Amino acid sequence: MAIIGNPKYAERIDHHLAKYETKRSAVMPLLFIAQEEYGWVNAEGIDEVAQILNLDPTQVKSIAGFYTMYSERPKGKYWLQVCTDLPCALKGADDFHAWLKDELGVEEGGTTKDGMFTVEHVMCLAACDKAPMLQCNFHYVENLDQDKMRELLAKWRLEAAQAANGRG
């Protein structure tokens, strides 16, 4: 696996490099590409982004480490980030978050044994009126309850199984 020389990413990398006056400005979108390829921002991805942008890997790592949308450790196929900021907590987000971790049998930041789901709490996803809510791989899912969440978990498991069998 690699992003450099991978035709799957070449057009996107070129697009981001052309968009900015300086190469350094493309570091964040290229980190997203690395995270997509590896499932997290690992040392190889950081080195590749640094090479593409002619930066020191330490500079790239400092950016990846600052922003919460980059994961510096492996995550499940579905990264579930539950907003537990005060407005969401007042609408049941803390209880929902605790239930979800119990439902999946994980601790905070943990990943299910099958590698399917990682559950974390985050602060403020700016959808307080739709709590409890979460983002799954950066897509919002709002107005959640236990039944709706069980349906989503089953749907995502089915999608992953179909993709693994070449039908997704």
Residue 137 pLDDT greater than 80, yes or no: yes
Look at residues 58, 60, 48 and name the one whose alpha carbon lies nearest to residue 24: 60
> Are residues 139 and 148 in contact, defined by beta-carbon separation less than 8 angstroms?
no
What stretch(es) of the chain map to CATH 1.10.10.1590? 7-66
Alpha-carbon distance 55 to 88, whole Å?
A: 40
pLDDT digits (tens, 9 = 90+) for 12-49: 999 999 999 999 999 999 999 999 888 899 999 999 99
pLDDT (average), residues 42-64: 96
Predicted structure pTM score:
0.77
Class of domain 78-164: alpha beta
Helices and strands (DSSP H and E) totals, the chain: 7, 4
Q: Where in the chain is the domain with CATH 3.40.30.10?
A: 78-164
Q: Which CATH number applies to 7-66: 1.10.3720.10, 1.10.10.1590, 3.30.460.10, 3.90.1150.10?
A: 1.10.10.1590
